[in-house]
Amino acid sequence: MKKILTLAMLVKDGRILLGLKKRGFGEGLWNGFGGKVEAKESIQQAAKREVEEEVGVIPIQMDEVGLLNFTFESEQLELEVHVFRVGSWEGEPVETEEMRPEWFSYVDVPYDKMWPDDVYWLPLLLNRKKFQGDFHFDRPSDLNYKSKILRQTVEVIL
Ligand code: 6OG
């Protein structure tokens, strides 16, 4: 089974806005904002909707800058994650039921409390690069388990 997901990173003035996931999948980890693409929407529309739902701002400048493929040793699940860089938006970030937002300067990104793939590609996004990555994990994460990377490749796209 293949799932298509979005992930949007909001950046401004050398800082990135991350959300602490308060419940459900990825609880306790800092991440960008995103989720599943629904049947009747484009990937771009889904990315925008998820940002609005999770942090309460409306993206203005939003570019797709990365494509990540996640596979798992334990099962036939594939995640295709479309990564967006959001450089401007309308409104002020707010805490929602799902996420507590906080600003981090680029040098203080809390990689140790993020998904294990982020350290490989987020620095590229912060450096305004485009990228494509493949990550093969042991098994999907859940409330008590954070996936481990078995193999990975990331390349910058020119
Ligand atoms: P919901 O399924 O809760 O949205 N996501 C991941 N992000 C990273 N960086 N690494 C992973 O490693 C991820 N697995 C999922 C995609 C899930 C959100 O979490 C992201 C979506 O933005 C396995 O609606």
Beta strands (DSSP E) in 57-113 are 58-72, 78-90, 99-105
C-beta 5 within 6 A of ligand 1: yes
How much is the pTM?
Answer: 0.95
State mean pLDDT over 108-125.
97
> What is the model's pLDDT at position 138?
96
* Rounded Cα–Cα distance for residues 2 and 76 (Å): 8
C-beta 47 within 6 A of ligand 1: no
Query: Ligand 1 centre and the CA of 8: distance in Å?
Result: 11
* Rounded Cα–Cα distance for residues 10 and 156 (Å): 20
Please say if the pLDDT value at position 143 is more than 80: no
Give the pLDDT confidence of 28-44 residue by residue, as tens digits.
Answer: 999 999 999 999 999 99
C-beta 17 within 6 A of ligand 1: no
Tokens of 74: 């334990």
What is the maximum alpha-carbon separation in the chain? Answer: 42
Q: Rg of the chain's alpha carbons, rounded to an integer?
A: 15
Q: Give, for ligand 1, the residue of 6, 10, 29, 70 to mutate: max count of ligand atoms closer than 8 Å to Cβ.
A: 70
Q: Do 21 and 29 contact (CB within 8 A), yes or no?
A: yes
